[in-house]
Amino acid sequence: MALNIPQASSTDPLPEEEHGSAGPGTASLAYFVFALFFIFGGITSLNDVIIPKLKGLFTLTYGQAMLVQSAYFAAYFIVSIPAALIVRRIGYMRGAVVGLLTMMAGCLLFVPASSSGRFAMFLGALFVLASGVTIVQVVANPLISMLGNPRTAHSRLTFAQAFNSLGTTLFPYFGSILILGSIARIEADAGPAYALDAHMSAESHVIVVAYLGIALALVVIAALVWMQRNKLREARADHVSILGSFDLLKRPRFAFGVLGIFVYVGAEVAIGSLLVNFLMQPDVLGLAEVDAGKHVPFYWGGAMVGRFAGAWFLRRFAPGKVLATVAIAALLLLAVAAETTGAASGWALLAVGLANAIMFPTIFSLACEGLGDRAAEGSGLICMAIVGGAIVPWVTGHMADATGLHAALIIPAICYAAILAFGLYARRSLIG
């Protein structure tokens, strides 16, 4: 991602920021950005554990269960542009604090949601939580690109995304033990209403403690980020038009990149959301719910390993070509998952996580090359495109209801075909 900042030499990894200069100790900001990636990645991946449990408790179809992702990722569409304007007005660091506190509010709303036993309350809490995540992501993506040489932004953002994947790997494992394992103890022959009541009474304390713990951690990190707010001097815009941001879509490369983010997030979330149910199928791995949930970290862990490796590859090969290559790999793995059975099918779908590794940061940085001081607006529009996580899983869920989980994989396959096309289109860098 190219920002309008001076080129850095190899001995000066943290150049002056656009319209200003970095304050003392700017290097330490990278650690805070890594922490932000870890947190919002982990919280987002918990949806993969919540979906199969809510599906059972509320006797939902796949399409209805995917409303969890629709509520969560709809926030990106609604909040991204306002978030970008907030960041331009108050700055990156203060914007991060606003996002973290909004995430905290969303976590606290899980307390009344758990007590009410209403599916709509869970969806509302998820929307507020995701609104905070959206603000943080609007801040984090351009900020990590800002803290170094623009020519290596692809690699640096990919490395930062590895910490996002670390969160998505750890959170589902412990979430499976806490949510899937504990609730599975409810009597199997109980009716849906009784099961929900039993869960809310027996597990309320565990859920309250878990989300209060997350909320407390967010408050601590928000305080730490606030203490660092003056280490980055940045220009702020007092008058920014929301509609004015959309003229960036007149740039073909950027518009194609926005579409790339839409289909990538949609495909990644759709696969992650169906993984537990897919692995539970008798013709795949036939696992119990909690054991299937413990396999979800392999999907996200593949993305983590791939991002560390991808940071190396992206320094040596054209990012667009690397993106096209991994898109082809994802298509081949989906074909194996859809057309085979047993371990080959299950592990092929899990391995798609490895192919996903470099996609988001590479699409993001390729799309944003040349935006200069409009980076925050571009980040906001791209984060808006994350609404693909609300739409593609919903479509995939309805396809699964109609044709089965194997055949439904055609939807994410179409998404990866679009990513392949963008990689080929953007294979030449705009940075001289």
What are the tens digits of pLDDT across the range 77-94?
888 778 878 887 888 888
Confidence of residue 356 (pLDDT cuts 50, 70, 90): very high
Residue 32's CB is within 10 A of a number of other CB atoms, namely: 18
Q: Which residues, in sequence order, are CB contacts of 197 under 8 Å at separation 6+?
A: 117
Residue 342: the pLDDT is: 94
Cα–Cα distance measured from residue 9 to residue 15, given in angstroms and rounded to the nearest whole number: 9
52 vs 145 pLDDT, higher one: 52
% of the chain at pLDDT higher than 70: 76
8 Å CB contact between 238 and 89: yes
What pLDDT was estimated at residue 10? 32
Q: pLDDT tens for residues 108-148?
A: 988 887 777 778 888 998 899 999 998 988 787 777 766 66
Q: Residue 429: what pLDDT?
A: 58
Q: How confident is the model at residue 163 (pLDDT cuts 50, 70, 90)?
A: confident
Instruction: Give the list of residues 6+ apart from residue 395 with CB closer than 8 angstroms, or none.
Output: 411
How far, in Å, are 54, 73, 87, 382 from residue 60 at the CA level?
A: 8, 19, 39, 31
What per-residue confidence (pLDDT) applies to 5?
26
Tens digit of pLDDT for each residue in 186-223?
444 445 555 446 555 455 455 666 777 888 888 998 88
pLDDT interval class at 355 (50, 70, 90): very high
Q: Span 229-255, mean pLDDT?
A: 67
> How many other CB atoms sit within 10 Å of the CB of residue 296?
28
Average pLDDT over residues 43-64: 79
Q: Which residue has the higher pLDDT, 55 or 400?
A: 400
**Confidence at residue 16, expressed as pLDDT on a 0 to 100 scale:** 35
pLDDT tens digit sequence for 358-383: 898 889 888 888 777 776 677 778 87
C-alpha dihedral sign at 381, 141, 97, 86: negative
Q: Give the range among 106-115, 294-303, 377-386 with minimum mean pLDDT.
A: 377-386
Handedness of CA 90, 93, 96, 97 (dihedral sign): negative
Under the banding of pLDDT at 50, 70 and 90, the label for residue 318 is confident
In the structure encoding, which two tokens stand for residue 132, read together?
Answer: 């905070």
Residue extents of the structural domains in the chain: 26-233+241-425
Banded model confidence at residue 308, pLDDT cuts 50, 70, 90: confident
Local confidence band at 168 (pLDDT 50, 70, 90 cut-offs): confident
The angle formed by the CA atoms of residues 397, 401 and 403, to the nearest 5 degrees, is 110
CA dist 321 and 84 (Å) reads 30
Does 407 have pLDDT greater than 90? yes
- Give the residue from 367, 178, 338 showing the smallest Cα distance to 264: 367
CATH no., domain 26-233+241-425: 1.20.1250.20
Give me the mean pLDDT over the 62-91 stretch: 85
pTM: 0.73
427 burial level (CB within 10 Å; 0-12, 13-18, 19+): middle
* Rounded Cα–Cα distance for residues 346 and 285 (Å): 6
Residue 419: the pLDDT is 97
User: How large a percentage of the chain has pLDDT more than 90?
Assistant: 28
Does 21 score more than 90 pLDDT?
no
> Region 378-389: what's the mean pLDDT?
82
Categorize the per-residue pLDDT at 45 as very low, low, confident or very high, splitting at 50, 70 and 90. confident
| pLDDT score at 285 | 93
